[in-house]
Structure 1
């Protein structure tokens, strides 16, 4: 296909327009996104509401297509408006230029994560409305802020609001990850995030002494135990080719702080570990193990377990006949001849907040045969992949909205 044909495509034009909005951290401005989505709602002849569950700088935008049986639980198609920071000098194209090269690649931050999915939802809705389709269930298309920094001011706040409860959500679709193979990953669960912070107290004094119970000695013990745990998970992954990164627990030392100068033994060291607990890990037992290691290290260690992201473990979304939405989703992918693989999402998405309030959710981004470039330099999505994804969502949305 020639570049002219891609550039003339209406949906490609809308996608590139959305990508050019620099809703980028650390200080994203969402108002241009809101104005763009208002224009989309007008073109689609859909009502739009803007909610502010956290504060006035973090809007949640919801477009609604009412179903024939509006009392039924509705379908939520969720995406986030924010994108991660860029280092323009590392890009071969302007990161918010949405340039289309001769191969059909659209370069922009958010082209994979995840402005593509939000616009594919709207493109699919546009096609379905133009075809005269109507469905049993109401469909809500939400665009939320703050996902890339944890979601506290976005979906986390939204699911607790009356605005969210009034939507009567029965099922949610959200983002997945690109796949470099022909297979499409479908995510039915997420690992539990724990930011484990050890505040390690110890004897302080001159660096020429050999004092007992120093913070450094205790930190050494804690580090050894955490790295042993990590090594066991590395071996699990290496020994079983069927396992994905989301099936194991990951532990990484991310920050160490403390000390005043080179010849003073400090009274306090602080170490933070990023821990992503697999769904087969007993969280209470994991916490107890860390506390035991802290006592074994010599005591005087305070352990903090993360932030608001540390939601209680919730059951994975059912992927069997007990879940009519899964049945409808699977039937759509089967009819389209797609090869899908169920996986546990290795990171964190807004789906964890949806599942936490008891709503089944699947993560899915129709981007196969595509290098994984989320958060990377020169992030891009091929125009044909984008358009095929629209066709995929047309089938999936029609099925789940009639489930």
Structure 2
């Protein structure tokens, strides 16, 4: 969706969000995750309320208010809604940024989803951590469920989990020793899927383990690759490894006076009496691909004083915060859209 500016030849503003959400696991929610239930405290419960249907709707409503108030912008504004963000953007932002349509938008600056705050601060993310999602297929001896023999596949699984948890504990120590929100200093790692087995009385011959890593900004990809290969070697020649997702580069957008878009945002929020803190995004967004095209891009959300529930059960949004956020985006767009 496009709101044409008075000088469409100027670089445009991209307001991006994604429409897809992760599975909900409905049985664990207080309220059905797709019911849009509003509780007595004015909280709207549902999958996507924090990640990230709220931001997309706020964009639309902020632009609607600009039109209703006869506010004119010099720059053109594009609202883009991506599919497939949660699984890597391979059917969304990945092909889109290489398309002629994307080039024709003449984007000079982009905004995308941000990070929920538990205090009065608002966060702006200027760089994303690089996602490495890796599938290990651990192989070993099978047989009858009554036997106890060396080389059982579960021995390999236990060995692998021990290795991963040892590395995870090392990264947690780095996390605990650094500044409170310095997400870029450590690599996160979690085993999120374990699959295998065919019957209660049959020892399986293979187990599949899917691991999700988000690399620190300082991590060298060759070192990480060598580490994973060393883990694989410990599992034996029959085991194998494949990448589900592997992003090697994640450029940063400047958050200083060299970036007029950032300065405009910062000035607007200051005028509104709001404090904004720049940080590295602990996860990964579509902006990895946008920044790779040398386009400055920031992740931003107006959600404050809320419990972060991204990908968690009982995801919710405070409706008063949501409505206030529309006005904040309207003010930001006036400033960004009229940058000379």
Calculate the TM-score normalised by the size of structure 2: 0.86
Consecutive unaligned residues of structure 2, counting only runs of 5 or more, are: none
Using the TM superposition, give the Cα deviation of residue 378 of structure 1 relative to its aligned residue in structure 2, in angstroms: 4.2
Query: 2:244 is matched with which residue: 300, 306, 324?
Result: 306
Q: Is the 8 A contact 2:181 2:279 kept in 1?
A: no
User: Does the Cα contact within 8 Å between 2:130 and 2:216 map onto a contact in 1?
Assistant: yes
Greater shift in the superposed pair: 243-252 or 338-347? 243-252
CA distance in 2, matches of 1:293, 1:99: 46
For residues 261 and 287 of structure 1, the distance between their equivalents in structure 2, rounded to whole angstroms, comes to: 35
> What are the equivalent positions in structure 2 for 1:109-124 lying under 5 Å apart?
109-124=47-62
**Which residue in 2 is equivalent to 1:329?**
265
Separation (CA, whole Å) in 2 of partners of 1:257 and 1:87: 18
| Whole-Å separation in 1 of the counterparts to 2:279 and 2:104 | 31
Match of 1:154 in 2: 92
Q: For 1:183-332, list aligned pairs within 5 A.
A: 183-202=121-140, 208=147, 210-211=149-150, 215-245=153-183, 247-258=185-196, 267-307=205-245, 310-332=246-268
DSSP 3-state at the match of 1:229 = helix
The aligned length equals 338
C-alpha deviations, 1:299-345, integer Å up to 9, x for none?
343221223xx233121111122222112222222222211222222
Alignment partner, residue 350 of structure 1: 286
Q: Distance in 1 between matches of 2:202 and 2:33?
A: 46
* Aligned-residue CA RMSD (Å): 2.8
Q: Provide the secondary structure at the position in 2 that maps to 1:306.
A: strand
**Cα displacement (A) at 1:182:** 0.6
Q: Does 1:105 align with 2:43?
A: yes
Which residue pairs with 2:304 in the alignment? Answer: 368
Q: Deviations over 1:60-89 (max 9, x none)?
A: xxx111122212221100122233444555
- 1:223 and 1:377 mapped to 2: Cα distance? 25
Determine the C-alpha separation between the residues in 2 that align with 1:208 and 1:94: 45
